Amino acid sequence: MPRGPPAVPPVLPDPPAYATPTALALERQSRTPEPFSEAEKTEAERLILSGLKEDLPAGDPTSEVLIPQGISVCAHYVARKEGILCGLPVVALLFRELEPAISLRPLRSDGDKVHAGEPFLELVGPVQPILRGERLSLNFLQRLSGIASLTHRFAEAVEGTGCLLYDTRKTTPGWRALEKYAVRMGGGRNHRRSLSEFALIKDNHRQVLEALGDRSMAAWLERLRARQPDRLVELEVDAVEEVPEALKAGPDLILLDNFSIADLRRAVQIIRGHPGKQPLIEASGGISLENVREVAAAGVDRLAVGKITHSAAALDLGLDLVEVIR
């Protein structure tokens, strides 16, 4: 296998295709995760520069004083615990910034399951820049692999139900593109990447509108579509009793937020029995590994789960020196 950093994958469209009603019906046909995009590369490069400035404001005196110039090493990144790997393109960009002479040989790919004790990436090159990048590279790998690993557990739990797992905007500020990439590597899909992507009428919007005497769901959607006719519109409801009115308004998606399992089933039955436009059904709120399969089995099309990003624990990974090359 040739050495060297992996090539940068092709650019993805932004916003993604499913942000339009026409393309929404095609989302089930794609099971291959979108690769590392140009937007994700740009975010990674920004975070790398910020991370290097934070961690190396005045060099690395330990390595610079104690280790002679011209010493090279072979090192392996190794999993300390089983999980889903994510972050190799970021590590490649990091070491390209630190020292282009370092060669990287991936032993596994993003999205692969790695086992405790298993090496997944080999580095060969000057030891000083490798040590300078060790902690920052592990910070990226551990955070992104933790998200991918937790997402994988949720995705496995709903396998076979026909329900798709989505993330939310509950991401670390500044890390959204990379964290949503990690979700895809874990088997999930990306919901809105920003407020700008499509319209989602939530409870706080409704509270303001209703306080102003504007209570018609149909009127809300009519105004949105008059201004943005090609954009997807999602409407959140908080009770089964609101579902019939939501259906009459004709959204592309109906979001059932914090419903009990019994109420989810009732709402799904009402929506599936509606003679007009059939919106996709999304559930959110209070979804955990313990109840996610039951929620999916209630008949919804999609799950929006914030936990896969905001509550993911870092995956335990390390860097081991294999050989010192004089």
- Catalytic residue numbers? 135, 170, 202, 236, 257
150, 311 contact by CB (below 8 A)? yes
Sign (positive/negative) of CA torsion 185, 199, 302, 210?
positive
Token duo for residue 51: 């991370």
Sign (positive/negative) of CA torsion 90, 34, 172, 115?
negative
Backbone angle region of 36, left / alpha / beta, with phi > 0 → left and psi within -120 to 50 → alpha: beta
Number of other CB atoms surrounding residue 69 within 10 Å: 8
How far apart, in whole angstroms, are the C-alpha atoms of residue 271 and residue 63? 64
Q: How many residues does the chain have?
A: 326
How far apart, in whole angstroms, are the C-alpha atoms of residue 145 and residue 139? 10
